[in-house]
Amino acid sequence: MADFSGYIILFLIWLVSMILVRTILGRSKITSNLPPSPLALPIIGLSCIVACSPETAKEILKTHETSFCDRPISATVDYLTYGSADFAFAPYGPHWKFMKKICMTQLLGGQTLNQFIPIKSEEIKRFMQLMLKKAKASEAVDVGRELIRLTNNVMPRMTMGQICSNNEEEADEVMNLVLSIFEFSGKFNLADCIWFCKNLDLQGFGKKMKEARKRFDTMMERIIKEHEETRKTNKETGRDDAPNDLLDILLTVSEDESSEIKLTRENVKAFFMNIFSGGTDTSAITTEWALAELINHLDIMNKAKEEIDVVAGKNRLETLRLHPAGPMSVRESTENCTINGYEILAKTRVFINVWSIGRDPKHWEAPLEFRPERFIAEDGKSQLAVRGQHYHFIPFGSGRRACPGISLALHMVHSTLAAMIQCFDWKVNGGDGATVDMEEAPGLTLPRAHPLICVPAARLNPFLSLE
């Protein structure tokens, strides 16, 4: 024990010495014009800046966009995405550009999404049928959990032509798998910041990550093999082998020998890891926050109900301002550049604080208030777009690495929220006059700190207006 204590003392002496040396050397660099920051520690391998204003965000995401086209890779994300074989976190290069083109032209284009409208409508009807059952029994509903279950049914059907589970128990397992993957992706990992912890699993992430990816991999292998067998049979029998879902499209691309980029099986599975983790939790949480805000503002809720046939749920944009599903957009600089007069070195991690930008009093009147009418001009049209052209409102990011699934997300959120507020009255589990606690929890997708528990009351037949 004494020897071990001696090592600790020696380490502390070394650490203090290094801090003093770093401080002295740092003060001597009078020619450097780095952004203001706290004292840098020599053993922490992380250099980062935070952008909290629209003006700085524009500098990073537009003026100097080519210097910030990469995303930082964490040990967790790298493992879960089969060695960064995915699209969302892939380095900015030929593979990423190829996948971006495929996403925009085939995977997530308007024609493909229109093809999935019947699937979306069918699953929303199923969801509304459950809400109607709860309403008739005056039972409370965990809205967030049921919305995640809904998106867990919609997304696999759109992307892989099937629900990933055959019963409620399996559905819960898949839902928990998706949530655990997203949770791992957002957790702070010592291995990413302290070099001598790189190969140590001090927080116990390693075993849990391996279990999560193994479960995901088993599910994906089963589904891919089923698709491959169907495609083979169709080819042998001369049946129509036109792609029916996103997986079919990717398999077709991967089999194309003339393709400029050859997609591997890991690329395909990693892409669907992105779809599951980025397209399920986010849509559900956005819808949940929107409903919570409307319950707390009954005048706006009533107005939305009255105008839903003309302006289908204009509150959605305001929800994305106050509760963006991606509250922090992360980039990494690939070269030295100057932002707002400060020198930003290559390999610097940049956090765009989307949450703070959406509440900036310089750009938003009464920024903390829920005022959806601020987005609607006198002619009834939206004054702001969500596609990253207005830097005080960037819920989906901006530029080359903006979220490619904007249309998919809005399709899902718009339809679900409109149906919920049109077909039901929602009361907080506590009776008339009760309000929703709006506390936020930490996380990549800004989840609620407390579940939204409501009792729905049917206003009209939920199946008359969902086509």
The CATH number linked to 326 is: 1.10.630.10
Q: Which residues are annotated as a binding site?
A: 403
What are the CA-CA distances from residue 128 to residues 38, 141, 161, 181, 320 (Å)? 52, 12, 22, 28, 23
Q: Which residues are annotated as a binding site for heme?
A: 403
Which pLDDT score, from 0 to 100, does residue 408 have?
84
- Residue 198 neighbours by CB under 8 Å, 6+ apart: 75, 191
pLDDT digits (tens, 9 = 90+) for 85-102: 999 989 999 999 999 999
Question: Does the pLDDT of residue 27 top 50, yes or no?
Answer: no
Question: Does the pLDDT of residue 212 top 90, yes or no?
Answer: no
> What mean pLDDT, rounded, does the chain reach?
82
- Residue 299 neighbours by CB under 8 Å, 6+ apart: none
| In-domain check, residue 30 | no
Question: Does the pLDDT of residue 159 top 90, yes or no?
Answer: no
For 44, list phi and psi in degrees, rounded to 5.
-90, 110
Task: Determine the Cα–Cα distance for residues 155 and 163; give it in Å rounded to an integer.
Answer: 8
Q: Give the rounded distance of the alpha carbon of 137 from its chain centre.
A: 34
| In-domain check, residue 25 | no
Q: In this structure, is the dihedral angle defined by the CA atoms of residues 335, 340, 341 and 343, taken in order, positive or negative?
A: negative
How many CA atoms does the CB half-sphere of 455 hold within 13 Å?
A: 13
| In-domain check, residue 5 | no
| In-domain check, residue 149 | yes
| In-domain check, residue 376 | yes
Residues above pLDDT 70, as percent of the chain:
79
Number of domains in the chain: 1
pLDDT digits (tens, 9 = 90+) for 4-23: 455 555 555 555 555 555 55
CB neighbour class for 275 (10 Å; exposed up to 12, middle 13-18, buried from 19): buried
| In-domain check, residue 144 | yes
Which structure tokens are listed for 229?
A: 């067998």
pLDDT digits (tens, 9 = 90+) for 292-332: 999 999 999 988 888 775 654 444 468 888 888 878 888 99
Host domain of residue 151: 55-458
| In-domain check, residue 125 | yes
Strand pairing report for 349-353 and 48-51? parallel
Which structure tokens are listed for 110?
A: 């308007």
| In-domain check, residue 40 | no
